Structure 1
Amino acid sequence: MAQFDTLDIIVLVILLIGTVAYFTKGTYWGVPKDPYANSYAFANGHKAGKTRNILEAMEESDKNTVVFYGSQTGTAEDYASRLAKEGSSRFGLKTMIADLEDYDYENLDTFPADKLAFFVLATYGEGEPTDNAVDFYEFVRGEDTTFSNGGTADDKPLENLKFVAFGLGNNTYEHYNSMVRNVDIALTKLGADRVGDAGEGDDGAGTMEEDFLAWKEPMWAALTEKMGLEEREAVYEPIFSITERDDLDADAEEVYLGEPNKNHLEGKQKGPYNSHNPYIAPIAESRELFTIKDRNCLHMEIDIKGSNLSYESGDHIAIWPTNAGREVDRFVDVLGLVDKRHTVVSVRGLDPTARVPFPTPTTYDAAVRYHLEIGGPVSRQFLASLAAFAPNDSAKTEMVKLGSDKDYFSEKVSQQYLNIAQVLERVESTNRWTQIPFSIIIEQIKKIQPRYYSISSSSLVQKDKISITAVVDEIRVPGSENVVKGVTTNYLLALKQRQHGDPSPDPHGLTYAINGPRNKYDGIHVPVHVRHSNFKLPSDPSKPIIMVGPGSGVAPFRGFVQERAAQSKAGEKVGQTVLFYGCRKSAEDFVYKDEWEFLAAQSVKKTLGSSFTLFTAFSRETPGKKIYVQQRLEENAALVNELLQKQKANFYVCGDAANMAREVNAKLAKIISEHRGISLEKGEDIVRGMRSSNQYQEDVWS
């Protein structure tokens, strides 16, 4: 029999511990799923890692209803929170909300018949689950899925599960609301019983909020009948307690002034950097790409050296924004918090499942400036809930009307693109809204989310720097003085202005806290992380590619072309590289013009594979003659079809989903049908097949 020495035993013990930790996901040690989770997560009742068994979590917290969410930008999480709150206040349900990635699902077959599950599910990209819903989605749709009692799909293992479903989608994408549709089918196939219709909200049509409100009332009626619920008068019951701290000053070392977690509070930068933990990155370079004064397009180089962040062409960089000072001032003023803005407050969940969305103790100013989406659209439901806290009867009457009259709300709020502080100002401009509990603000205004931008560089060319290309956003409201400014792009503009010598950057009168909390971003820094994408070049560089990217949609294609130029320079065979680019005027907003012209010249010299070809479309170059990329596509239909049919080229689209991307899709189907002598329907089928096989890829937004 073999003898084990001390080293053997140590190795075996380590392997055993690692194996147990892997299969239990750390539950035996109470370790958070994210090892860099902040200490405040535990202080607020979110026992991360304590159990991945949802039924145990519900039992421990005495809940009979769980509202799961699959969310990419925070909107689905917001709706889940609202449903949980309404279920509790109107119907006495004992609710909790749950992030889908925090739990396992093998034991859903033991879900009691007297409990409820809600699923609020956003569809991300081209019909994909959100990042936090991937494992759940694959589990419930898996062909060989097995539950805790050994049951498979044929056994209808979820026959006791009663569920409610609402989806968040965008009709400008081909796979509209596919997440909720597919989950609904999968759960039903497994024997679960859906209560009411599966709701679908449409962000593409701008009706998400009204779709949600129209769906939920019939849903509550169906649920009341099914479960024997009794509706009661809804009275506001806070989820969070807000305690003003007389014992702490704002400059105390334990007070969070905008830092996202404890490491940042203590002045440490520790990876891995992700959606919970940004890297405070230096901006190495910034410049304007447009030559006109009334529009801005920024090129920035983000330095990631030493961070262990990595990227590939086609990935996204997430920018963590800061709210504009003007809007922060407006917000604290309308709530009557000006004199208390730097008062330290502790926020605590009154329910063991309530998760405070930011670290505490903090200040009112820091919470509003760094953590709450105060510039976002307002819901009718939120305004209705604030009516009880109006400063006078006339304001209360107006808030009730705004909350109950869909058309009136649309005219006065939605069409004016007003944020919550602007609404309150217009309803009552003389008196401050001091009766509004700060707890309801935290509950109803979602956490500010990172914004994702296509990376416009190649890691083969600059692995330690990430380029971004961003048009500075604004919406001018017709017939109104209100101009809505993009939160993140104007923040970036302010950073650019500071880098170029403006001591007090003030883009459009917005002002920003450029130096960050406690001046930790001094020296022109920005919080970032990287999100990897499926929008990728073919693994074989000899394969041709066709790219369609008007405006800032050209960003990832700059990275693609850089990469193929580098591959060619390294001696690899690079296939034909074709770019369709459009803008308004060649002398005003033709981004990277010099680079494209240089690459085209290099192509002639055969230093970029077989060729680089640029087709341009200028929509306002010639009066009365608007040219768009889809027209250039049609003009070069023979080349496009040949590259697709004979050389199996990859086809890429980046930019506006609602108009350009949809029209390019239709134009390509027409090109294929005409040049292959087949019907338009068959051409459309071929394009769908290209999408399914990833020969056709999109990185689009609405």
Structure 2
Amino acid sequence: MQSSTVVPTTYSRTNPFQAKVLKNVNLNGAGSNKETRHLELSLKGSDLSYVPGDCLGIIPENDPELVASLLEEMKWDAELSVSVNKQGDTLPLKEALARHFEITLLTKKIIQQAAELSENEELQKLVSDENLNQLKEYIDGRDLLDLLRDFGPWKASAQEIVSLLRKMPPRLYSIASSITANPEEVHLTIGAVRYTAHGRKRKGVCSVLCAERLQEGDTLPVFIQQNKHFNLPESPDKDIIMVGPGTGIAPFRSFIQERAVNAASGRSWLFFGDQHSASDFLYQNELEKYQKDGVLTRLEVAFSRDSAEKVYVQHKMLENSKELFEWLNNGAYFYVCGDKQYMAKDVHNALINVIEKEGSMTREAAEAYLNDMQEQGRYQRDVY
């Protein structure tokens, strides 16, 4: 008799693991303008593993209220069966809109194809070649519901409309834990995205799912995404400098946990910032304990709304420029995580200023110094 071998399941982007929610808490205190969720998920039975710096992919579901508004706007039958891919797989319309399609973002292509399903003159004008800038402007901050409301009546079936849509893309988050310190678990730090645009309240698909609808005991479809360009130094005796304001703290929590477990001899220096110290100092107790225990050598914080002058992490870098340059010259690794649009640029410029000033170099020489660091893998960024 042949023995049947059980092939282990490999969980991936196309076959995510259903991770059970162990903990879901708001890290911000009373009076904060923000809501940052700390999420702990179980990886038990998944065989999934990760290293500090990696990301967790989540395949989210759309807001049921938004789905209901779409069905109502178009007078669609929620149970109508629609095809969701080229293979002809079908789902009830309500489920397809909730789980399969991206309905909160528009693209040029979607609007151009939608124009063929409507006789609305304004829409025809919007997609004409000479109005490319107006089209870009329209897309910004609007979603499928806006499009359907703004340019009806539609002579299209539900199937024709959903065929325009893109598949729901996974959302990637920097992992905020070390698997060595938390076996079979993965932690995340997620800032809930909420804003008003074009007269409607908008919500981040995945962040608000985590903030409003995800309870302990629920499951979330996840996979591990490696991040080969954002890792701890191979040698634990190297010094590390970490700049992670707001949710940018996430991967550094994993770095610090990992180095605590491995009793790394290298020094570590964290720059953290947010709005108010009283309500927005994420992981304050943990970080202060790490500092007390000597795992975290230095902790610099910048709370922008606690003083008349706004103070950010880059200001704290400049204040400590002498020590910062000594660490860099001594071979320290420098990491930045968080907002790409402003913070990462400001930190990059502050870093060049520090090198220029403390190294008594020209601007060009300071930039070359930083480029060398980058080539050696000593200047790493995880920005979004």
TM-score (norm 2): 0.92
| 8 Å Cα contact 1:545-1:575 kept in structure 2 | yes
SS at match of 1:362: strand
From 217, 222, 228, give the equivalent of 1:528.
222
SS at match of 2:382: strand
Cα deviation for residue 346 of structure 1 reads 4.7
Cα deviation for residue 334 of structure 1 reads 3.3
From 98, 112, 134, give the equivalent of 1:384.
112
SS at match of 2:20: strand
Alignment of 1:601-612 (within 5 A): 601-603=292-294, 608=295, 612=297
Q: Rate the CA distance shift 1:427–1:292 in 2: closer, same or farther, 3 A.
A: farther
Distance (Å, rounded) in 2 between the aligned partners of 1:676 and 1:418 = 48
- 1:409 aligns to 2:135 (yes or no): yes
SS at match of 1:658: coil
Percent identity among equivalent residues? 31
Distance (Å, rounded) in 2 between the aligned partners of 1:434 and 1:322 = 28
Distance (Å, rounded) in 2 between the aligned partners of 1:285 and 1:447 = 29
From 546, 552, 564, give the equivalent of 2:241.
546
Q: Rate the CA distance shift 1:407–1:315 in 2: closer, same or farther, 3 A.
A: closer
Aligned to 1:563: 258
From 21, 32, 50, give the equivalent of 1:311.
50
Aligned to 2:69: 330
Distance (Å, rounded) in 2 between the aligned partners of 1:347 and 1:276 = 15
Q: 5+ unaligned residues in a row in structure 2: which ranges?
A: 1-6
Alignment of 1:110-509 (within 5 A): 271-292=9-30, 294-337=33-76, 339=77, 341-346=78-83, 355-356=86-87, 360-379=89-108, 381-390=109-118, 393=119, 396-404=120-128, 405-410=131-136, 413-415=138-140, 417-428=141-152, 431=153, 433-436=154-157, 438-439=159-160, 441-442=162-163, 444-477=164-197, 480-496=198-214, 498-499=215-216
Aligned to 2:316: 632
Distance (Å, rounded) in 1 between the aligned partners of 2:57 and 2:24 = 17
Cα deviation for residue 679 of structure 1 reads 0.6
| 8 Å Cα contact 1:301-1:465 kept in structure 2 | yes
Q: Which amino acid aligns with 1:387?
A: A
Distance (Å, rounded) in 2 between the aligned partners of 1:476 and 1:495 = 20
Cα deviation for residue 439 of structure 1 reads 4.0
Aligned to 1:590: 281
Q: Could you list the per-position Cα deviations for residues 421-466 of structure 1 after superposition, in whole angstroms to 9, with x for gaps in the alignment?
A: 21221233xx5x3524624532x32111110111111112012110
Give the length in aligned residue pairs.
374
Distance (Å, rounded) in 2 between the aligned partners of 1:669 and 1:347 = 50
Cα deviation for residue 343 of structure 1 reads 2.5
Distance (Å, rounded) in 2 between the aligned partners of 1:323 and 1:403 = 27
Q: Which amino acid aligns with 1:621?
A: D
Cα deviation for residue 371 of structure 1 reads 0.9
Q: Rate the CA distance shift 1:651–1:320 in 2: closer, same or farther, 3 A.
A: same
Distance (Å, rounded) in 2 between the aligned partners of 1:334 and 1:407 = 28
Cα deviation for residue 389 of structure 1 reads 2.2
Which shows bigger deviation, 547-556 or 486-495? 486-495
Q: Rate the CA distance shift 1:336–1:628 in 2: closer, same or farther, 3 A.
A: same
SS at match of 2:293: helix
From 346, 349, 354, give the equivalent of 1:671.
354
Q: CA RMSD in A?
A: 2.0
Q: 5+ unaligned residues in a row in structure 1: which ranges?
A: 1-35, 37-269, 349-354, 500-522
SS at match of 1:597: helix
Q: Rate the CA distance shift 1:331–1:318 in 2: closer, same or farther, 3 A.
A: same
Aligned to 1:52: none
- 1:619 aligns to 2:289 (yes or no): no
| 8 Å Cα contact 2:190-2:207 kept in structure 1 | yes
Distance (Å, rounded) in 1 between the aligned partners of 2:290 and 2:84 = 56
Q: Which amino acid aligns with 2:9?
A: G
| 8 Å Cα contact 2:302-2:312 kept in structure 1 | yes
Distance (Å, rounded) in 1 between the aligned partners of 2:242 and 2:35 = 24
Distance (Å, rounded) in 2 between the aligned partners of 1:297 and 1:645 = 36
Structure whose alpha-carbon radius of gyration is higher: 1
| 8 Å Cα contact 1:344-1:364 kept in structure 2 | yes
Aligned to 1:577: 268
Q: Rate the CA distance shift 1:382–1:449 in 2: closer, same or farther, 3 A.
A: closer
Distance (Å, rounded) in 2 between the aligned partners of 1:483 and 1:494 = 15
Cα deviation for residue 386 of structure 1 reads 2.3
Q: Which amino acid aligns with 1:399?
A: L
Cα deviation for residue 332 of structure 1 reads 2.7
TM-score (norm 1): 0.51
| 8 Å Cα contact 2:53-2:251 kept in structure 1 | yes
